[in-house]
Amino acid sequence: MFVFAVLLALALAWRLRSVLEIVYVSALFAVVLTPLVQTFMKLRIRKWQPSRPVAVILLVLSAFILLGLFFFLALPPVLHDAQHFAEEVPTRVPGIVARIKGMPMADKFGVDSLAQKSSQLVTAAAQYVLASAPLWLKGIFDLITAFVLCIYFMLEGDEAYRYFLSLFTPNSRARLDRTLIVAKVRMSKWLIGQGSLMLILGVCSTIAFALLHVRYFFLLGVLMGLFNIIPVAGGAITILLAAGIAATDSWTKMAGVLIFYAVYVQVENGYLTPRIMRSSVNLMGLTVLVALLAGTALAGVVGALVSVPTAALIAVLMDEYMVQNDPEAVVLANTANLPPSD
């Protein structure tokens, strides 16, 4: 009966995997945002102090105000650049083809037919967008559902957490509680670290593209910062877009864009990420890379988005329940870090 119950539970979980994915992402972001809710709860206006529901409402209102400021101040130039980009794409294709034809061995890649097929590619892209409209609508619905669930988790998360702990014995319950609190702190710091990396990349990209006189530099800088929330893939996609736009003017601008990104990646990986992310989630670079690969393989973009905080949670649980911190292991670890003696 126990084996049958386990198999039935696994089959049900597989059947509901999309729902469980939304629930997990919502709960994860609720844990990450809980410190902000607690910050609002500590506010005091004379004798009045906001309760948890009021704090959640204040957090949501603050998020909408920031989005409103972004739409009011930053979105108009972004939309202006996006409109001009869409209008100039058909007229820029022949110029790009002419530049590519000037490269060595370009005739071996069928460049001559690229201009003729450009209209067909645009038509196929439009048909694909129309055909994938139901998937986009489903994605928007899932996003709204995750947002509502995240609010409920922030409102009733403490009760659900206490019920979860009640499933364990008192001794195990106290240990698990301490471990999960440590994990929550690490996961909450991940949001600050990721936001800092997004802001730095967005500002640096905008300044670099403006100095290189790349058209639509404001749009590209905003996209670079926003897409950086998707580790590895986000930056690669946007830099290819920026390089393609720069190539419509000159190969020099394209080379400048690629050189900027190559230098920035080295600085980010060698200086920014180790100091920002390691101080927040305390994970090795190898662990972060493996987590990104596993998260992307399991759940695509969403998996890559939540892979690092999930890895932080798993690392805290492993440190508490699996890592053997006996004296002999500590001596071996310290010995391994010593330089070889003569």
Residue 332 above 60 pLDDT?
no
Q: Which pLDDT value is given to residue 90?
A: 61
Q: Which pLDDT value is given to residue 121?
A: 54
Residue % of the chain over a pLDDT of 90: 3
Q: What's the CA gap between 206 and 219, in Å, rounded?
A: 8
Q: What's the CA gap between 265 and 212, in Å, rounded?
A: 18
> Which of 85-94, 283-292, 311-320 has the highest average model confidence (pLDDT)?
311-320
The CB density around residue 244, as the number of other CB atoms within 10 Å, is: 13
Give strand pairing partners of 48.
45
CA angle 119, 125, 131 (to 5 degrees): 140
What average pLDDT does the segment 316-336 reach?
67
Residue 181 above 80 pLDDT?
yes
What average pLDDT does the segment 310-329 reach?
78
Task: Give domain limits for the chain.
Answer: 15-62+110-167, 183-323
Indicate the DSSP class of residue 324. Answer: -
> Which of 83-87, 134-138, 155-159, 192-196 has the highest average model confidence (pLDDT)?
155-159
What's the whole-model pTM score? 0.68
